[in-house]
Structure formats: C-alpha cells, structure tokens
Structure 1
Amino acid sequence: MTGWQWVKLVGNFLNLSSVAGVLVGTLGRARLSRGPRGLFFATGYRLGFPVAGAFTIGNVVLSKHERSYFDDAALLRHEERHSWQYFCLFGLPMLPLYGVGVVISFLLTGDPASRNPFERLANLQDGGYVEHPVQPLGKTVTQAFSVLRSRPKGP
C-alpha cells in the first residue's frame, strides 16, 4: 500500500464510512476479507439492494459475487476510486450525494450511471457501465412507466 492509501484507509475508518460498510456487509451476511490497496471485500452479499455487481461504502467493496470477481483490475480501480470519493467527502455524506447523482443521471439519460458524476469520476467503463446519451425527459418518463407496467402483479 502507498502512503496515501494508508491515509485513505485510516480516514475512512475515522469518518465512519468503512465502519458503515462493515455493518452493511454484516447485515447482508457477506464474508469479509482484506484486499489490495487498503480495501476490504465483503463477498457473498445477500441483500437485494442496491442492484449492482459491486458497490463501495468507505473502503469496503460489497458484492454478491465471490472474491475472484475482483480479479478484474479495471473494476478494482473503479471501486477504489469510489473509496477515495468517500474520503474526500468526509464519509457518509457521499451516500445522499450519490443518490442525487443517480436521480439526475436517470432524468437525463434513463440510466442511473451515465451522467452520475461519481460514476463518471470513477470511470464508467472500468465499472462495466455503458454510457447512454442525454435524451428528452419525455422519453425517460415513458421508459420508466413501461418498466413499471411490465413488472408482474401480486405476491
């Protein structure tokens, strides 16, 4: 680990974002292990939210997948960039700000990542995202309603 990665590791524990990541991993019955670059992996995460291959809280990268999922160097860089975002935003304020980014991106493109500044700064392609173009708001609303209508009804 570099000196700056140590600073981020300690900072994200002090700002409680990594503590929150461990708590969320525990609630999701994930297995915690130490990873490279000051990261920790919480694999086998079982909760259905958020819907993502992986997501980061502090220095904890959570995923429903096994540890080998992070053998992809680009994905690992993407998730580490998110851990830096927690550090730079003093921890947990990242969560509501990220949520605002999701809403703005969805309204602009119909996709939660394409115009989300946090995903763009973490490099969309490294995270496995496909960039969608900005579209008229009416098209986004129509897409959202068609998805809602296509969901199965009942228990």
Structure 2
Amino acid sequence: MTAWQWVKLVGNFLNLSTVAGAVVGVLGRATFSRGPRGLFFANGYKLGFPIAGAFTIGNVVLSKHDRAYFDNPALVRHEERHSWQYFCLIGLPMLPLYVVAAVVSFLLTGDPASRNPFERLADLKEGGYVEHPIQPIGKTVTQAFSGLKSRPKGP
C-alpha cells in the first residue's frame, strides 16, 4: 500500500465510513477478506439492497458475488475511487449525496449511473456501466412506469 492509501484507510476508519461498511457487511452476512489498496472485500452479501454488482462504504466493498468477482483490476480501481470519495467527503455524508446524484441521473437519462458525478469520477466504464444520453423527462417517466407494469405479479 502507498502512504496515501494508508492515509485513506485510517481516515475512513476515523470518519466511521469503514465501520459502517463493516456493520452493513455483517448484517448482510458477508464473508470478509483483505483486498488490495487498503480495501476489504465483503463477499456473499445477502441483502437485496442496493441492487448492484458491488458497492462501497468507506474501505469496504460489498458484493453478492464470490471473491473471484474482484479479479478484475478495473473494477477494483473503480471501487477504490469510491473509497477516496468517502475520505474526501469526511465519511457518511457521501451516502445521501450519492442517492441524490443517482436520482438526478435517473431523471436525466433513465439510468442512475450515467450522469451521477460519483460514478463518472470513479470511471463509468471501469465500473461496468454503459453511459446513456440525456433524454426528455417524459421518456424517463414512461420507461419507469412501463418497467413497473411488465414486472410479474406476486403469487
């Protein structure tokens, strides 16, 4: 680890974002392991929210997938950039700011990542995202409601 990665590791512990990530991982019954760059992987996360291949809280990267999912160096770089965002925003304020950014991105493009500055700064492509163009809000609303209608009904 570099000196700056140590600074981020300690900073995200002190600002409680890594502690929060560990608590979420425990609640989600994940299995923890050390990763590179001062990250911790929490694999086998069992809660259904958020809907993502992986998500980061502090220096903890949570995923429903197994450890092999993080064999992709680009994905690890993407998630490490998110850990830097927690450091720069002094921890947990990142969460509500991320939610607002995701909602705005969804309203603009129909996709929560495309215009989300946190995802763009973490590199959309390395995170496995496809950039969607800005579209009229009416199209976004139509897509959202048609997605709800096409969902299967309960038992």
TM range (shorter): over 0.9
Length-normalised TM-score, structure 1: 0.99
SS in structure 1 opposite 2:111? Answer: coil
- The offset of 1:150, in angstroms, is 1.1
Q: Is 1:74 the equivalent of 2:77?
A: no
* Structure 1 runs, 4 residues or longer, greater than 6 Å off: none
Q: Is 1:62 the equivalent of 2:62?
A: yes
2:143 is aligned with what amino acid? Q
Where does residue 104 of structure 1 map in the other structure? Answer: 104
1:68 is aligned with what amino acid? A
Where does residue 113 of structure 1 map in the other structure? Answer: 113
Where does residue 15 of structure 1 map in the other structure? Answer: 15
Q: Give CA deviations for 1:11-68 in whole Å, capped at 9, x if unaligned.
A: 0000000000000000000001111100000001001100000000000000011111
- The offset of 1:152, in angstroms, is 2.0
2:28 is aligned with what amino acid? G
CA distance in 1, matches of 2:39, 2:154: 41
Q: Is 1:153 the equivalent of 2:138?
A: no
- The offset of 1:151, in angstroms, is 1.5
CA distance in 1, matches of 2:132, 2:118: 15
Where does residue 42 of structure 2 map in the other structure? Answer: 42
Q: Is 1:32 the equivalent of 2:32?
A: yes
Q: CA RMSD in A?
A: 0.6
CA distance in 2, matches of 1:21, 1:154: 32
1:43 is aligned with what amino acid? N
SS in structure 2 opposite 1:99? Answer: helix
Q: Is 1:91 the equivalent of 2:119?
A: no
Length-normalised TM-score, structure 2: 0.99
CA distance in 2, matches of 1:129, 1:30: 24
2:85 is aligned with what amino acid? Q
- The offset of 1:154, in angstroms, is 3.1
CA distance in 1, matches of 2:72, 2:107: 30
SS in structure 2 opposite 1:130? Answer: coil
CA distance in 1, matches of 2:96, 2:7: 24
Where does residue 127 of structure 1 map in the other structure? Answer: 127
2:147 is aligned with what amino acid? V
SS in structure 2 opposite 1:62? Answer: strand
Q: Give the percent of matched residue pairs that are identical in Structure 1 and Structure 2.
A: 83
- The offset of 1:98, in angstroms, is 0.2
